Every structure is written in structure tokens, then in C-alpha cells.
Amino acid sequence: MLKSFNDVLEAAKGARPVRLVTSFREPDLDLICRAAAAGFIIPCLIGDREAIEKMTEKSPLASLEHQIVDERYPGGALQRAISLISEKGAHILMQGDFDQNAFLSSVLDAKTGLRKGKAASYVSVFELSESGKLILVTDTFLNNYPGLTEKRLILENALSLSAILGIDTPKVSVLAAVEQVNPGIPSTLDAAILSKMSERGQFGKALVEGPLDIDCSLSHLAAKRKGIKSNVTGNVDIYLVPEIDTGYLLAESLVCFGKIHTAGIVMGTTTPVILDVPFVSDECRLVEIALACLALRRGEGDGQAV
């Protein structure tokens, strides 16, 4: 089981490098050089060839294998990138200099994008150095107000990533404001249904408990005081949030107030997708590329989308 971001980086080493396509921007040069030097990727950079060559000719990338696709029109660059992925000319898609709204709209298009009928979601991975483990929080960026059907798919995406991290029996807390089922609070009903689905074995070996508030999720004693008996409380691997406000603010708070490192990728697409998310530091963006490489490797082995 991978217990730290360093473990993730080490696990991504040693395999055949994969092609990462992105609309190149100069601030990403150091990241791309480090990922290429580590053997994670072969960069495929889309943009103005002359400008890219001028920026890269004196960098370490000049001596590393890479590809430049000359495309000066932003809209054309995005379609070229998605076409490269669809045609297996590249394997991982990174946002880079693409406008985020246009990027997400194209990537998540059910007909021409990379979603292919599944619900895509953003999974944030946090490194808890004191407890020596990685936890997942989802969805923290993409789905605004998911219903029960979407939450099931979001959970399945997170379970796929937990398997990549080597978590054999993931413990899932379905978060809500209160730990009791309340018909007036829809998130508690969704949580209770997902928990019952887990009891019936619909999520494999995962243990799904909900509704749980943060207090019960973090402390087995707090849960016991409230009459909740569960193997999930106090040892959660995945936190499934009710909606985007909770997810985004929780992730941002863990980073800003808790000073906890985070990295994340889009799951539920035909290939790993890396977004430019505000609460992910430059230091952790290399971990995102490593996560994407591991997800791709798992997808190839299973013959399925990530």
C-alpha cells in the first residue's frame, strides 16, 4: 500500500514512459522537465513551434525525448490534443495553457470528449504525514450537486483510485451535516442508501458508512458516544462529500489551514486527465503526473477506462 507521495513517485518509476499531451506554457517547463527526467512521460507540447523551441532549447528538455505539435489557434490545439488521446497518439492529458472552461467542456463532452458515458469526478489525495497514510476526498472540483446515481459513480471512481494506491479494503465515510438519517436532509438519505448498498456487496470489499459527520468520521470514540458502531469511524480512507461547496472548501481548508499536501486527478474518463486546480501546489503537481501514470497502467492492465 502506498502511504506517502514519495511512495507514489517511486511506484511510478521503472515503467515505460507514457506520452503526456498539453498546451505548453512556460510556467510548466520545470514540471515537464522533472517528469520527463524521472522517466514518467514523453512530453507532447502543442502550441507555436517557434515559441516552444525558444523556451525549451536551453532547458533540460532539449536533451530529453519530446514532441512539438505546431498549432497556434487555441481551439484547434484543444481538439488536436483530444484527437491525439482518442487515436492513442498520447496517453495522458494535462490542462496546461488551455482555458479551463473550454477544456472541461471538451473533455467531458459525452459524444466527442473523453467521458464516454461515465460520470467523471475529481479525486483529491491528501498526505497525512502524522498518521502515515493517504486519504481521498471526492468530488472536490467537478460535480456541483450530484444525486444518488452520480454519487454512486463518484464513489466507484474513488474506489478505482484507492485500488491503484493499494488500499485493499477501503473504508468510506459518506459525509453529511448530521449522523442520523433525516428525511429533511437529502444528503443523509443518499448516504444511508450507499451504506446499505455496501452491506449488500455492491461496492466489492469496500466498507461504506453513512451518514457520518466529520466528528464521527475522525474519531471512533465520538462515534461510539453517538451510538454508532462501525469499523469505518476513526480510520477513513475515502471521504465522499455531499456537494461541491463542501468538497472544495474542505480540500482548500485542509491545504490552507492544515498545511496538508494534496494532489488529484480526474477519474471516470477513458484516460487520466490532470487539471490546473488552485489548491494544488507546484510541489505536488509532479505527484499528479505520477498518479496519472499509475492510473493509466492500471487501466491498461484491466482493459478498462480509469
Spatial strand order of the sheet with 207-212 comes to: 67-70, 41-47, 18-23, 92-96, 273-274, 262-267, 121-128, 133-138, 238-240, 171-175, 207-212
Question: Per the domain annotation, does 50 fall within a domain?
Answer: yes
Contacts of 266 (CB under 8 A, 6+ apart): 107, 120, 121, 122, 123, 142, 272, 273, 274, 275
| Of 56, 14, 11, 19, nearest in space to 39 by CA | 14
- Give the per-residue pLDDT at 304: 47
- Give the per-residue pLDDT at 129: 87
Domain containing residue 243: CATH number:
3.40.718.10
- Give the per-residue pLDDT at 284: 96
Q: Worst-scoring range by mean pLDDT, 116-130, 132-146, 254-268?
A: 116-130
Structural domains in the chain (count): 1
Question: Per the domain annotation, does 203 fall within a domain?
Answer: no
Report whether pLDDT(301) > 70.
no
pLDDT band at 275 (very low <50, low <70, confident <90, very high): very high
Question: Per the domain annotation, does 138 fall within a domain?
Answer: yes
pTM of the model: 0.94
Number of neighbouring beta carbons within 10 Å of residue 190? 23
Question: Per the domain annotation, does 231 fall within a domain?
Answer: no
- Give the per-residue pLDDT at 297: 85
As a whole-number percent, the residues of the chain with pLDDT over 90 amount to: 84
Question: Per the domain annotation, does 202 fall within a domain?
Answer: no
Contacts of 119 (CB under 8 A, 6+ apart): 143, 146, 149, 150, 153, 154, 157, 268
- Give the per-residue pLDDT at 14: 76
pLDDT, mean of residues 58-68: 93
pLDDT band at 299 (very low <50, low <70, confident <90, very high): low
Question: Per the domain annotation, does 79 fall within a domain?
Answer: yes
Task: Retrieve residue 74's grid coordinates.
Answer: 487555441
- Give the per-residue pLDDT at 303: 40
- CA distances to 32, 105, 119, 122, 150 from 143, in Å: 28, 13, 9, 8, 9
Question: Per the domain annotation, does 276 fall within a domain?
Answer: yes
Question: Per the domain annotation, does 220 fall within a domain?
Answer: no
CA torsion through residues 270, 40, 83, 27, sign: positive
Q: Worst-scoring range by mean pLDDT, 51-65, 209-223, 289-303?
A: 289-303
- Give the per-residue pLDDT at 108: 92
Domain range for 79 is: 5-170+237-302
| 131 three-class SS | coil
Helix axes 186-199, 148-164, angle to 10 degrees: 50
pLDDT digits (tens, 9 = 90+) for 128-155: 988 899 999 999 999 999 999 999 999 9
pLDDT digits (tens, 9 = 90+) for 151-197: 999 999 999 999 999 999 999 999 999 999 999 999 999 999 999 99
Burial 103-133 (b: 16+ CB within 10 A, else e): bbebbbeeeebbbeebbbbbbbbbbeeeeeb
